[in-house]
Structure 1
Amino acid sequence: MARENQGLQIALITFVILTLLLAVFTYLFFRQYDEQYRKAQAALEEAAKANDAARSAQTDLNTLKTILGFSTTDPMDKITQTAKQELETYGADLDPSQQNYRTVLDHLFKTLQAKSATLVATEQKLRDAEAKIAQLEASKAPLIAQEKNRADQAEATLTQERQKFTADLQASFQARDDLQKRVTEAQQQAQDALAQLDAAKKDFDRRIRTVSALLAVRTKELEATKNPRLETPDGRIQWVNQQLGTVWINLGEADGLSVGTTFAVFPGNTLNIADAERKGGIEVTAIRGPHLAEARIIDDKVSDPIMPGDVISTLIWSPGDRRRFAITNFVDIDDDGRSDQELLISIIRQSNGIVDAWLDDEGNLHGQLTADTDYIVVGNEPPEGTNVAVIQARSDMLKRADEMAVQRISVRELLRRIGYKRETHVVRFGPGANPADFRAKPKEDEVIRQSTGAVSEIFQPRQPPRAKAGTAF
């Protein structure tokens, strides 16, 4: 029992001590809180005063900005810079220490008053001067009237003299014009006579040149008749590779040969190329030496293949010589109804030939036909509905070629003589199709057989059987 009371006492004492300590700590904490609260209230009051002062200062600043003509949102740097520039501009004649808005405005106001006073005085002087001028004008009015009368009399006299002078001048001009007209007529007659004489001379010279050219041609033809000149081959095939379709010829760089030149191939025993039948065609693909070139076979016959020793010839080129050509319009190589004039020009130039002139399908002449032109290549006849001017241009070109003794040759004959063969014939379908592409055509180099009109004895006309006498038949 005594031990239980002692424990209660110890517990009670501990509780009392803890309560006292709690009371002391609570007092100390409350005291610090009260001091901090009073300090916070004092800081809030000072902050409120500072905010009021800042708002008042901002209001004053915005008012000052508005008075100075600035926006309330403009920064002070911009306002300071602008104010400095304005003070330096409008207060340039003031001391820098006096350059502020009030001083500058006062200075400008005083300057404006002084200028206004000066302007008023100047206006008064101007009015006085105008009054004096009016007095002078009034005093000299009689003199002006007198001088005006004299001037009118002088003007009338001058008008009479001018009219007389004009009449005399017109008479002289008329005489001059009549003389000039007679001189002009005489000059025109002389020019017409000279033009007629010059035209006659040119026509006579042209006729002389034409006759001379024709005479030279006829002389050559006569000599050729007496001593026929054979057209000899240009070269010879040395080696053939039928598997690769390749041949080697004895022409090369030293002969002036160029890649792309085409040759017609003839048998090796051919003497006159003009009358011989060609057996194929080749095209030069590479120059291998001074007198050696490689070519591909573009046309040959299985029954008569190209062999070593066969001769080659082209109408466009020969060793050391380049032939010159002129071409008419309506050139159609593949019979598709479309112009192949550009292709023919390319073929001639590729074979080292020269195209002096060509006439397009619109009748426009390109280049010039000269006396050095060797051949004129004649295209197809103009189709129906061709413009008369185009037909006339073609006729004029052919006539000009005849006058200059230029030899005519057809497109087909030229291509045959140079060994050309088109690679592929394109047949077009649809609205742009050519009806000629669908007609039966003979093979190239095939002879078309024609009827002689005679009937073989095997085919005798049949007669109906005749009735026999005394029978039913």
Structure 2
Amino acid sequence: MAATGKTTAVHFSLIFFVMLSVILGVISYLNFRDLAEVSAKLDSTKQDLQARDTVNQQYIGDIDAMKRVMGLTLPEVGAKEAAPGTVVGEAKSLISRTATNPAAQTMVASLRDLRSEYDKVSNELTENQASLSDLQNNFNLLEAQYKAREQTQVEARQQADDDLNVERSETQEKLSVKDSQIEDLREQLNDAQFELNQTKSQLTAQIRDLEGVNDKLVEINNGLRDKIDGLENYSFEVEDGTIRRVDQVNSLVWISLGSADGLRRRTNFSVFMKDNSGIARDENDIKGAIEVTRIVGPHLAEARVLKDELSRPIAPGDPIYTPLWSPGTKERFAFVGKIDLDNDGNFTEDDRNRLYELITVAGAEISSEVTDDGERIGDQELDVSTRFLVVGDIPDPVESPPNERDALNEMMRLRREMMNEARLNGIRVVSLNQFKDYIGYVPKRRLWAPGVNDNWNLKSGGGSSLGIGLGVTRSSTGTVSEAFGGDSRLSPKSSSGFTSGQAGQVTGN
């Protein structure tokens, strides 16, 4: 069949196979070239591995040689983690146990330190051996000298023993004579001791009887003294001075004490009635209290009136007294019990501090004192130099808080002790209220001020001298007392001591 110009399937197949052959040929060529390169690289890598293996074997041989030198033929080196059982771990442990220098970190440094220490010790040993040789020579010399002296001592001892035997024999004879004399004296001593014991027994019985009689007499005497004090209330106190002039307008007085008497400012005095029953004997005789404000002359001082009674005004000639002050004498006082200066039932530290101030200002001092804690300070035993023993209130321990009972019980015990000491030394015992009256103390809260209302308490059983509440006419006649009249340049005249008649008139109902 004749050929035609159309492309047939044979043509396409031929083209396909030709292209496939070309592509496969190219791929084969490329793969062959890469295979040659890979083969070359593989051969090079094998050579490198063989070289490195040779080096590693050399390193392993070197490490094994180092292990053998170190004496640590362990399988694990421990380069990353120096654990026990590895070469590095055991080496560090060995260094820490044997190194002389704690700062050594390597075996070489440790060995160097050990060598240095060894050389040092070796040198010291050599020196000590030389010293030991010298000491041995000295010892041999001393031993020879000792043996020579020992022989001398042996001979001297033998001679001393001979002399001792002779002396012992003579002494024994003398002792026999002395023993006989001692025996005679012992018999005489026994006889004298027997007589002495009999006499002592008789005297002890007599002393016991006399002590019993004395105790009874003391008890009777104390009882009689208490009865006499209760009946007579006798006092040996005397007035310190007198009121010389009175200024009722300014509440001032002038007293017969001054610089020559050693008087101090701020000293308080109690003012007694002229016809008193005895100074510091009866508190009812006290009509007022004053405080020295200015020293005017040798025997003249100005004082302000702290307390005055309308029915018994302070007048010239009234005696004044305080136990805190005496001319040329420093008075001493003892205190036991709680201190309540204001009679408000509160025992505060302020009350005790004000008491200290009153005593110090007047020039007196405290000889012995029992604090609120039950502690006695100052003199531990009273003597005749103490003027008063002042006894304050002591609350019942049973009715007091538990934390205060021990102190109160101790305070009561010390009160009994100090009162016995006062009785034995003739010291007057007064209550705190009596003491405050005698020194002219006026409670601060009872000082009247304009505009202040206070509940004034009268003495037990007392009443107002003006008859307040009984229909009293309290009007004044308008006549001024002559004590405040006349020329102002003259000293104030003294008061008569009596109140206006109008003040005592009671109107009938």
Q: What TM-score do you get using the length of structure 1 for normalisation? A: 0.42
